[in-house]
Structure 1
Amino acid sequence: MNDTPRMSRRALLRSAALIPAAGALAACATPAAQPTAGASPGAAKSLEVWVFDGGFGHKYATDIHQPLFKTKYPDVTVKHNFTKEVTKILQPRFAGGNPPDVIDNSGANAMDFGALAQDGQLLDLAPLLDAESWDDPSVKVRDTLDPSVIEIGTYDGKFHVVGYVNYIYGIWYSMKAFKDNGWEVPKTWDAFLQLCETIKKSGKMAPFTYAGKHPGYALDPILTMAAKIGGKDVLRNLDNLEDGAWKAEALKESATRWAEISAKYLMEGTNGLDHVQTQTAQNKYQVAMLPSASWLENEQRSTTPEGFDYAMFPIPDVTSADKMPYGALHTQPGENYLVPAKAANTQGGIDYLRAMLSVKAAGQFMQMVSTVPTVKGAGEGLELSTGVKSAADAYAAAGDNTVYFRWNAWYLQLKDESAAATGELMSGRITPDKFLERMQKKADEIKADSSIKKYKR
């Protein structure tokens, strides 16, 4: 996506708040009444839902969530929509004061959560957390969720965003390819380097790839390794725009090591390929490993050969001095749902989310799209595919040794810069030092810009 929509988004939202479109004056002039989850959607007879059509598709909404919602609200007509271009399609709706009722704001073209929160465009979802859960009236919704959902979905003390999927990141591979070739999952960096060398010398396939057109895939292992080396504060300092945060020695060490992998072991042509192309190459046994997250198995369902058997492993230990142990993971809620503050049916939006967060809906979603939801107990007793089982097992083994970062959601200009800079690093056009200098410069610019709302964790 080009920079123009993102660069103008903050100004667009502000202008919408100050000078609403003529047809939206009534909607913008009076704040929406605060809904109470579990109450009837009231006089509203329709609910407009927009789902990001990405790695999980959108059939889970029509086949699982919406039928379940209708069991309690049969008179409400659910208007289902889906798109890959969330910002392009829905940003004008916010500017016009007539946003839909429920939005899955996800994908590379998602709207800027920081800007939406800053301009009062997001409904406070506290009533959802304190409502009776869909399954059991004696249990509140908040007690059914992974605590990170609430932490990461909170902006300036208000809970606005529901992450439905527990994205679990790591290095993904084919269990069949590893078994057939006698390759062992590496637990140390030296073992990882040796594996890459063995695969390269075998001539059977390339050792490693990533989505060259979407360099964020390569940035994730860089940041995760940096946290393993230096501890969780390495990533927390990035989020908080701390002075010199991008110059941390752990980040330099990690960027240097991953740049070496790119220089020596990358699949030919990687820089010009997108995520689907690199993932399909893996399905064809042209490359052994790639960085991704727990959406991968479902995203590649149509091209994955029988017996491929997806699995993942965590970032290997770098040295014995690592601050975090083997098995530490980057994991955080994603597939982010929100209810706009100026939606026509905020009450219905709240209750739609409550249905989604039931154990029944989350369990069926887990089976349908082979991923790990953020609802506790969703996978109990279910037969799971190898990929989702591998991710779930890794998450369970990690325990408290998980990390995450939020700067890429809070500051989209920094996210854009990180994609460009990571691409330059992994293609060998800039050094690790220059990569970190570039990121620090952009972070400093954002920190100094008084027009940009700052967040802290």
Structure 2
Amino acid sequence: MPNPFDPPGASSDKPRLSRRELLRGAALMPMAGALAACATPAGKAPAQSAAPVATSAANPFGVAADRPLEVWIFDGGFGHAYAKDIHQPLFATKYPKVEIKHNSTKEITKVLQPRFAGGNPPDVIDNSGAGAMDMGALAQDGQLQDLGPLLDAPSWDDPGTKVRDTLDPAVIDFGTYDGKFHVVGYVNYIHGIWYSQKVFRDNGWQVPKTWDEFVALCETIKKSGKMAPFTYAGKHPQYLYEPLMTMAAKIGGKEVLVNLDNLEDGAWTAEPMRQSAAAWAEIGAKYLMEGTAGLDHVQTQTAQNKYKVAMLPSGSWLENEQKTTTPADFEYGMFPIPDFTSSDKLPYGTLHSRPGETFLVPAKAANPQAGMEYLRAMLSKKAAGDFSELVRTVSVVKGAGEGRPLSPGAKSATEALAAAGENTVYFRWRNWYAQLHDEAVAATGELMSGGLTPEKYLERLQKKADEIKGDSSIKKYRR
């Protein structure tokens, strides 16, 4: 999963097309006006939304009994079988005559952005992965259905409980753009450093709680000659900027990340960011697995499964993504970013956690009523629980995993999240400003390979943030 903030599977080194590039005259595809104007291709009329039928508690959006529903699922670390085997059969129990057109792809933007340009997008999209469409631009262009009615609809399980009351509150925060709820994050991503509990136990290696202990552990592993200490998805450096951001927040407090999101002057060059960048640059210089820069997420993760490297940063999708290559006794574990010093503003155990695997209903979908109802079915306790068990992860639906067996990695991540309590951090610039994400990906790769000093790295990202801040064509968001 080359994007640790929207799950696994797609490549990030592809052109993006968003209203922002178009407004700057830098469109990267031959389809002028793709999101900005939603021009209709010759001879092809835009799809017309279905006229709703009578609504009721059982059918709150007025889903027509016989109008088809087109679903697109990102085929990444969670695959797409869960949609066919869990969500769609559940939807069909209430709407057996609705033909569900199931599709999957690793290339969401490449495949579906032309559909938005043509005015005929599908009804439900899992907009995830490194190739996800720019949600900030989609929201700015009015391309997303207002899902506020979904939050206030009766839950699939209990007509007396609203959907909003079944969800982790962070789902609503992350899915809201300019006061409207547009996007449903389905998975509770839990980020940390992943390792084999068996390997650590067999070698007497202890989980580090301080940065000095982490560096000492890297040195011990390196000197053992058994494996490399550390790696990350070198072709997708966002895997490394995630722990860098988390460490900066630990050092300086949550406001470090809030300032980045809000494009505050000097946010990138602040001292906590400099300390974190310098610390990770040292790991890049001394302890990376040989060849890391040329490897993708699957290659580095598989190297870990083959006991060639001890530790790597990832999220709670990792265990499922690697299920075909992981030895039976590997026993995945995850630990939080260690304390940098005893003066950190946030305590040991602080985690980067946020809703991910983001689903949306396009505003110009042919059947948005069924699209919203599909999401309501997905957010049932049974559907979310079955999903969590199948793909070894944690859903955003409250209590969905109760009483279900947890794999070692899911158990480790779940326990870490419980221990973190209120000490969780997140950042939103990655989804709000795609150009800043792209710049951070490229710059982080150079930082870790020694091509940029920590100071030059942060100056480069501050420059890009300042450019975005000064660009009136780009919608600005705050938190």
For normalisation by structure 1, the TM-score amounts to 0.96
Within the candidate set 238, 261, 280, 2:302 is matched to: 280
Q: CA deviation at 1:9?
A: 6.8
Within the candidate set 258, 280, 290, 1:236 is matched to: 258
Question: 1:161 maps to what in 2?
Answer: 183
Confirm whether residue 311 of structure 1 aligns to residue 333 of structure 2.
yes
Letter aligned with residue 6 of structure 1: L
Q: Deviations over 1:2-34 (max 9, x none)?
A: 4533367753344434x4335555547x99879
Confirm whether residue 5 of structure 1 aligns to residue 26 of structure 2.
no
Within the candidate set 55, 66, 73, 1:51 is matched to: 73
1:39 & 1:338 partners in 2: Cα distance? 16
Question: 2:94 maps to what in 1?
Answer: 72
Distance 1:168 1:455, change over 3 A: same
Distance 1:196 1:351, change over 3 A: same
Q: CA deviation at 1:254?
A: 0.4
Q: Deviations over 1:391-450 (max 9, x none)?
A: 111111111100101101111111100000000000011100000000000000000011
2:259 & 2:50 partners in 1: Cα distance? 36
Question: 1:149 maps to what in 2?
Answer: 171
Question: 1:378 maps to what in 2?
Answer: 400
Secondary structure in 1 matching 2:418: helix
Confirm whether residue 214 of structure 1 aligns to residue 225 of structure 2.
no
2:50 & 2:424 partners in 1: Cα distance? 39
1:141 & 1:41 partners in 2: Cα distance? 17
User: Contact (CA 8 Å) 2:92, 2:98: kept in 1 or not?
Assistant: yes
Letter aligned with residue 269 of structure 2: K
2:188 & 2:169 partners in 1: Cα distance? 11
Distance 1:35 1:105, change over 3 A: farther
Secondary structure in 2 matching 1:51: strand
User: Contact (CA 8 Å) 2:66, 2:97: kept in 1 or not?
Assistant: no
Letter aligned with residue 196 of structure 2: S
Gaps of 5+ in 1: none
User: Contact (CA 8 Å) 1:31, 1:342: kept in 2 or not?
Assistant: no
User: Contact (CA 8 Å) 2:260, 2:268: kept in 1 or not?
Assistant: yes
Question: 2:376 maps to what in 1?
Answer: 354
1:7 & 1:139 partners in 2: Cα distance? 38
Secondary structure in 1 matching 2:104: strand
1:196 & 1:122 partners in 2: Cα distance? 46
User: Contact (CA 8 Å) 1:24, 1:97: kept in 2 or not?
Assistant: no
Within the candidate set 35, 38, 41, 1:21 is matched to: 41
User: Contact (CA 8 Å) 1:6, 1:412: kept in 2 or not?
Assistant: no
Q: CA deviation at 1:295?
A: 0.4
Aligned residues: 455
Q: CA deviation at 1:38?
A: 2.7
- 1:157-236 superposed matches below 5 A: 157-236=179-258
User: Contact (CA 8 Å) 1:199, 1:205: kept in 2 or not?
Assistant: yes
Question: 2:423 maps to what in 1?
Answer: 401
Distance 1:256 1:34, change over 3 A: farther
User: Contact (CA 8 Å) 1:16, 1:97: kept in 2 or not?
Assistant: no
Distance 1:423 1:34, change over 3 A: farther
Q: Deviations over 1:300-346 (max 9, x none)?
A: 00000110011100000111110000100000111000000000110
Within the candidate set 83, 107, 126, 2:105 is matched to: 83
Secondary structure in 2 matching 1:4: coil
1:171 & 1:23 partners in 2: Cα distance? 52
User: Contact (CA 8 Å) 2:52, 2:62: kept in 1 or not?
Assistant: no
User: Contact (CA 8 Å) 2:65, 2:98: kept in 1 or not?
Assistant: no
Letter aligned with residue 345 of structure 2: K
2:230 & 2:255 partners in 1: Cα distance? 29
Confirm whether residue 246 of structure 1 aligns to residue 246 of structure 2.
no
Gaps of 5+ in 2: 1-11, 23-32
Secondary structure in 1 matching 2:268: helix
1:3 & 1:180 partners in 2: Cα distance? 42
Q: CA deviation at 1:202?
A: 0.6
Question: 2:25 maps to what in 1?
Answer: none
Within the candidate set 447, 453, 457, 2:475 is matched to: 453
Report the identity percentage: 71
Secondary structure in 2 matching 1:298: helix
- 1:364-375 superposed matches below 5 A: 364-375=386-397
1:332 & 1:187 partners in 2: Cα distance? 22
Q: Deviations over 1:93-132 (max 9, x none)?
A: 0000000000000000000001100000000000100001
Confirm whether residue 302 of structure 1 aligns to residue 324 of structure 2.
yes
Within the candidate set 123, 126, 144, 1:104 is matched to: 126
Question: 1:259 maps to what in 2?
Answer: 281
2:327 & 2:261 partners in 1: Cα distance? 40
Most deviating of 2-11 and 186-195: 2-11
Secondary structure in 1 matching 2:406: coil
Secondary structure in 2 matching 1:308: coil
Distance 1:14 1:82, change over 3 A: closer
Q: Deviations over 1:14-71 (max 9, x none)?
A: 4434x4335555547x998799763441265210000000000000000000001111
Distance 1:260 1:87, change over 3 A: same
Question: 1:321 maps to what in 2?
Answer: 343
Most deviating of 111-120 and 42-51: 42-51
1:406 & 1:368 partners in 2: Cα distance? 28
Q: CA deviation at 1:75?
A: 1.1
Letter aligned with residue 313 of structure 1: F
Aligned residues: CA RMSD = 1.7
User: Contact (CA 8 Å) 2:443, 2:457: kept in 1 or not?
Assistant: yes
Q: Deviations over 1:182-212 (max 9, x none)?
A: 1111111111111111111110000000010
1:435 & 1:114 partners in 2: Cα distance? 25
Question: 2:3 maps to what in 1?
Answer: none
Secondary structure in 2 matching 1:252: helix
